[in-house]
Chain A
Amino acid sequence: MLATLKRLIAKTRSAFSSTASDFDFEEELQSHIAMLEEENVRRGMSCEEARRAALLKIGGLAQLRESHRETRGLPQFDSFLRDIRYALRALRKHAGFTTIAVITLAIGIGVNTATFTAWNAVALRPIQAPEPKRLVQLTRTTRDQMFSYPDYAYYRDNNRTFSGLVAINFQGLSLSGVTTGPSPATGGIVGAAGFQFPHLLAGTSEVLAATISGNYFKVLGVNAILGRTFLPEEDGPGGPAAVMVSYNFWEKQFARNPSVLTRNLTLNGVGVAVVGITPPDFLGTSPTVPDFWVPFALQSRLASEENALHDRNSICCRVFGRLKGGVSQVQAEANLNALRGNLQVAFPETKQRPGRQAGSFVVVQASPFGPTDSGTTAVAILILAAVSLVLLIACANVASLLLARSAARQREIAIRLAIGASRRRLIRQLLTESGVIGLVAGAAGVVFSWWALRFLMLQIAPSIPFGNLALHLAPDRRVLAYMLFLSIGATFLFGLAPALEASKPNLSSALKDDGAAFGGRLRKSRLRDLMVGTQVAVCFILLIAAGLLARASQRALEVDLGFNYHNIVMLNIFSPSGTSAAVKAARSRLAQQFGSLPEIESVAGASRVPLAGGIRAVGVVPNGGDPNDPGAGTSLFNLVTPNYFQTMGIRILRGRAFNAQEVREDMNFDGSPVVVSEATARKFWPGQNPLGRRLSLGPGGDSIRFSGEVYPHSVSSLVVGIAKDVRSVGLDAVDDTCIYLPSDYSGGSLLIRARTDEAKTVASVQRVLAANHTGLEAIVGDSRTAFSNQTGFVLSRVGAIGSTIIGILGLLMASVGIYGTVGFAVAQRTQEIGIRMAMGAQRAQVLRLILYETMRPVAMGLMGGIAGSVIVSTLLRKLLFGLSPLDPATFLSVLLFLAAVALFAGYLPTKNATRTDPMVALRYE
């Protein structure tokens, strides 16, 4: 056993020092022969005889040397090393071929690795805490992930399956005495791609705070890198006002000065003490690094919403937990569902949304980026499929390059076969060459993907208005393993077929050197045709996807929203420390001041800005009646100033809008006039005239409410107008309900219609704000910001950009591939072309003949591409904003474009071939 091991070690060592020990052995043999010779001479032989006898005695020297090498070293490994050395030499000799093959594959592998790195950084990233496998998120079958604080506390205190449950939510807070400077308007390639995020006006100090339960860090098992985490009393009523600061904010704002722990900061006008700093890039259970970590008890004081923590009807937080050791997710679900039953019995008056009540618990593995649902996975698979196609093109490309090369190496290979190399040995040699290309390309691909992702991050990061992006995009072990898998997989994909093809024993014809004449080309053309066809088909699919998505995202901008968003500036005014009454007063005053500016046409107020999220719904009891009826219907609502419809360009189809006398200042709308959308009228009074009907508003139905907010309430409001349907929730469909209620400017955001361009208006708004010295702060956004938040628009725009890049890469590769393949095929047939020309064929005839043969696989590829595209574009249907998946304009233009590129790629080398003098062509080779 020991001896075997020793022998293996010795063999391995000697495999690396072959020449020295070969020399040693040779010397020993020579000495042996000399001794034999001497003895033979002593015995009386002649010198020649003595030498001959000696050589006979020792046996065949050549065989001996060969078996010596086998005994001494590792013959398999040795020949592998030799293969690699030979491959490197061969590749270096054909530097042009090698460079093209490596670059092509590196792009293919790089794009794939980049995608995987992103997926790895997002979906596969565990929570940054000890034993992340035991950390779970509490969700419900209704996909509802938000809980009310009292519900959370009940589950936290009564479950038997978790060692701890934590709650988290996010809030913007105002930090006094520190100026963060304006967040920049979206620029770089993000802006160029058509995105715009809302940004803060200069002089503001809005910070992002994660509101957490006091046990958050204890349960996660994460310590502060400086100072400490929260004490239990700091999340209790009347406890000390303590906050933690994230490392990222500490670095950005306080230059990592540890004295921040002794300082008092003022958040929303309340003095707080910093007790600790969280680790760098610590995300906790959320996708972004907040600036501050604030306990719920303190947050309710900062926001003057002391009641929020006791209201079972207002949802406020996501809940995560650490499973006790040995407890499965299923056991935890059973435990939670039992508690949910208790809760429903204990608080029957809780008017939770029916949907929420029906949802039983689903406990999922916690991830900073939320549970990956089927939708995300589908998108990821689609992207992965697209980039795999690029790699496929790259492989096809390199395979046809290799085919071309192997045709050129035919004689070399034939000689090797003739002198006795086995076919397996040859295939191994050829695959080693491919493997070297694959691995070098893989390494280059990782570097390329890392660089590309960094570039993208640097472009995107400054455009994120709040929080800090902390993606870990450096290649880790998983990424490297994936790259290795791709490289080796690709090696077989592009290397195997040419190796099999090249090593086919066909000695006589290859040695006779007629491989390039009439018959020879036919043999190889089928595989090459397949390569060309595949490339064209894949390219077609990618370009169709790119074309459809680009057209769709353009269409999203042009879709009829029901209102006119051009030249609308949205302004959110809030007070860092003042009371809400002061903000209300300031809003009305500012609205008047803005209205008097010459460049502003009108200023409207609304509780909810279209396409800006913040969806709220109330229970609706049609035809009057008890507003508290739990069985009520539900409708979205918007509290608007009378000039809202005119400012936003929403047409009143029947009846009238509000007038100034009808405005209510509180949330009581008893007997007040309301305007409903067409869809709302259809929903509550199908087929009837809604004008003059009455309705009551209350907390019933599926109403959507948030903590700390007051909701409209009314008995017997009167419908006075029907407004045109708008798309204010999403771009894909008109809102299914909306009730407009008359209000003043206290409601929420200001919507400013500019006469001229938006940028100028933003500047004057900022001037007015600064001149007022109100201490108010504002978030501003123009019409583009509204679209930038729309999932549909983002998906189709990002998809269009992504698939355009991928498609262009694919197209470039495919056209280079076609050019190369056709060029090589034509070069091989130079002799034939010469003969044809010498026999009197016209140049045009030859050109047509060859182009026809070249274009046949292209045509097949296009046909396959059309079939594939139909499938892919049907999958994309949801993102197309009503564009037909078989949009003829896109299909036709891609078809013509691709055919033209292929024709050109084939024409160039063919033209050159027909230019050659027949005599030269005949003498070719």
Chain B
Amino acid sequence: MAESKSDILQGTLDLMVLKTLDAMGPVHGYGIARRIEQIGEDALQVNQGTIYLCLIRLVQKGWISATWGTSDNNRKAKYYAITRAGRKQLRSEAKNWRRVADVMGRFLQLESKR
């Protein structure tokens, strides 16, 4: 079962979280985890706890901010929002990621033509 799912590459989780927050606006950790799972369609093995470590790291870097709030079903939860520095980081990371993906894609195409 685990073989079919890919482990998340180091650093990609940061990007996923940033993009999620950019797209969804302020949301709590559970919401982020759900969203990542939905988009990954069970292809990704996400240990939900690690998302919190990632969130702490991003807060420390000043890319996202956190405030306590109340969830839809009246539960106390911490809401995260992307900051301006985070958007900037997201843009440059996304560009970077696309470039890498592009190169990898071309590389793999090259292989299949042989």
Q: Which residues of A contact B (CB under 8 A)?
A: 2-4, 6-7, 10-11, 24-25, 27-29, 31-32, 34-36, 38, 57-61, 64, 67-68, 71-72
Taking chain B's interface residues, is the majority helix, strand, or loop, or is none over half, making it mixed?
A: helix
Cβ contact within 8 Å between B47 and A58: yes
- Would you list 15 pairs from A and B whose C-beta atoms are within 8 A, ordered by A residue? A3-B85, A10-B59, A11-B60, A24-B78, A31-B78, A32-B52, A36-B30, A57-B48, A60-B49, A64-B49, A64-B50, A64-B53, A68-B53, A71-B56, A72-B60
Cβ contact within 8 Å between B63 and A71: no
Which residue of chain A has the shortest Cβ distance to B85 in the bound complex? A3
Cβ contact within 8 Å between B29 and A32: yes
Pick from B48, B56, B89: contact of A3, CB below 8 A. B89
**Complex Cα gap A61–B53 (Å):** 12
Cβ contact within 8 Å between B78 and A28: yes
| Inter-chain contacts of B53 with A (CB < 8 A) | 64, 67-68, 71
| Inter-chain contacts of B5 with A (CB < 8 A) | none
Pick from B52, B59, B63: contact of A68, CB below 8 A. B52
A sample of 16 more A-B contacts (CB under 8 A), given A32-B52, A71-B53, is A3-B89, A6-B61, A10-B59, A11-B60, A25-B52, A28-B52, A31-B30, A32-B33, A35-B71, A35-B77, A59-B47, A59-B50, A64-B50, A64-B52, A71-B56, A72-B56
**Complex Cα gap A217–B47 (Å):** 79
Which residue of chain A has the shortest Cβ distance to B57 in the bound complex? A71
Which residue of chain B has the shortest Cβ distance to A35 in the bound complex? B30
Cβ contact within 8 Å between A6 and B60: yes
Pick from A7, A25, A36, A59: contact of B61, CB below 8 A. A7
Question: At the interface, yes or no: B95 with Cβ under 8 Å from chain A?
Answer: no
Cβ contact within 8 Å between B62 and A3: yes
B20 to chain A, nearest CB (A): 15
**Complex Cα gap A71–B76 (Å):** 24
| Inter-chain contacts of B113 with A (CB < 8 A) | none
A25 to chain B, nearest CB (A): 7
| Inter-chain contacts of A60 with B (CB < 8 A) | 49
Which residue of chain B has the shortest Cβ distance to A24 in the bound complex? B78
Cβ contact within 8 Å between A31 and B52: no
Question: At the interface, yes or no: B73 with Cβ under 8 Å from chain A?
Answer: yes
B37 to chain A, nearest CB (A): 10
Which positions 7-42 of chain B face chain A at CB distance < 8 Å? 28-30, 33
Contact with A along B42-86 (1 / 0, CB 8 A): 000001111011001101111100000001010111100000010
Contacts A7-B61, A27-B76: A59 and B49 contacting too (C-beta < 8 A)?
Answer: yes
Cβ contact within 8 Å between B29 and A58: no
What 3 A-B pairs are tightest by C-beta distance, nearest first? A10-B60, A3-B61, A59-B47
| Inter-chain contacts of B50 with A (CB < 8 A) | 59, 64
B49 to chain A, nearest CB (A): 4
**Most central of A6, A31, A59 by chain B CB within 10 Å:** A31
Cβ contact within 8 Å between A29 and B52: yes
Q: Which residues of B contact A (CB under 8 A)?
A: 28-30, 33, 47-50, 52-53, 56-57, 59-63, 71, 73, 75-78, 85, 89
Cβ contact within 8 Å between B78 and A6: no
**Complex Cα gap A250–B84 (Å):** 69
Cβ contact within 8 Å between A35 and B59: no
Taking chain A's interface residues, is the majority helix, strand, or loop, or is none over half, making it mixed?
A: helix
| Inter-chain contacts of A7 with B (CB < 8 A) | 57, 60-61
**Complex Cα gap A10–B63 (Å):** 13
Cβ contact within 8 Å between B47 and A31: no
| Inter-chain contacts of A38 with B (CB < 8 A) | 73
| Inter-chain contacts of A64 with B (CB < 8 A) | 49-50, 52-53
| Inter-chain contacts of A71 with B (CB < 8 A) | 53, 56-57
| Inter-chain contacts of B49 with A (CB < 8 A) | 29, 58-61, 64
**Complex Cα gap A38–B50 (Å):** 21
Which residue of chain A has the shortest Cβ distance to B55 in the bound complex? A28
Cβ contact within 8 Å between A6 and B62: yes
Pick from B48, B57, B59: contact of A59, CB below 8 A. B48
A536 to chain B, nearest CB (A): 57
Cβ contact within 8 Å between A35 and B75: yes
Pick from A6, A10, A32, A34: contact of B48, CB below 8 A. A32
Which residue of chain A has the shortest Cβ distance to B30 in the bound complex? A35
Which residue of chain B has the shortest Cβ distance to A70 in the bound complex? B53
**Complex Cα gap A38–B34 (Å):** 13
| Inter-chain contacts of B85 with A (CB < 8 A) | 3
**Complex Cα gap A876–B112 (Å):** 91
**Complex Cα gap A102–B29 (Å):** 52
| Inter-chain contacts of B89 with A (CB < 8 A) | 3
Cβ contact within 8 Å between A31 and B60: no
**Complex Cα gap A37–B5 (Å):** 24
Which residue of chain B has the shortest Cβ distance to A61 in the bound complex? B49
| Inter-chain contacts of B57 with A (CB < 8 A) | 7, 71
**Complex Cα gap A31–B56 (Å):** 16
**Complex Cα gap A279–B67 (Å):** 62
**Complex Cα gap A36–B33 (Å):** 10
Cβ contact within 8 Å between B75 and A34: yes
Cβ contact within 8 Å between B63 and A3: yes
Cβ contact within 8 Å between B76 and A31: yes
Cβ contact within 8 Å between A31 and B59: no
Which residue of chain A has the shortest Cβ distance to B86 in the bound complex? A3
| Inter-chain contacts of B63 with A (CB < 8 A) | 3
Which residue of chain B has the shortest Cβ distance to A11 in the bound complex? B60
B57 to chain A, nearest CB (A): 6
| Inter-chain contacts of A35 with B (CB < 8 A) | 30, 71, 75, 77
B55 to chain A, nearest CB (A): 9
| Inter-chain contacts of B30 with A (CB < 8 A) | 31-32, 35-36
Contacts A3-B62, A6-B61: A31 and B48 contacting too (C-beta < 8 A)?
Answer: no
Pick from A57, A58, A68: contact of B56, CB below 8 A. A68
Which residue of chain B has the shortest Cβ distance to A10 in the bound complex? B60
A620 to chain B, nearest CB (A): 91
**Most central of B47, B56, B57 by chain A CB within 10 Å:** B56
Which residue of chain B has the shortest Cβ distance to A3 in the bound complex? B61
| Inter-chain contacts of B71 with A (CB < 8 A) | 31, 35
| Inter-chain contacts of B73 with A (CB < 8 A) | 38
B96 to chain A, nearest CB (A): 15
Cβ contact within 8 Å between B29 and A28: yes
**Most central of B52, B77, B89 by chain A CB within 10 Å:** B52
A3 to chain B, nearest CB (A): 4
**Complex Cα gap A67–B59 (Å):** 16
| Inter-chain contacts of A6 with B (CB < 8 A) | 60-62
| Inter-chain contacts of B56 with A (CB < 8 A) | 25, 68, 71-72
| Inter-chain contacts of A59 with B (CB < 8 A) | 47-50
| Inter-chain contacts of B48 with A (CB < 8 A) | 32, 36, 57-59
**Complex Cα gap A38–B76 (Å):** 14
**Complex Cα gap A11–B78 (Å):** 20
Cβ contact within 8 Å between B77 and A31: yes
**Complex Cα gap A58–B33 (Å):** 10
**Complex Cα gap A744–B67 (Å):** 105
| Inter-chain contacts of A10 with B (CB < 8 A) | 59-60
Which residue of chain A has the shortest Cβ distance to B29 in the bound complex? A32
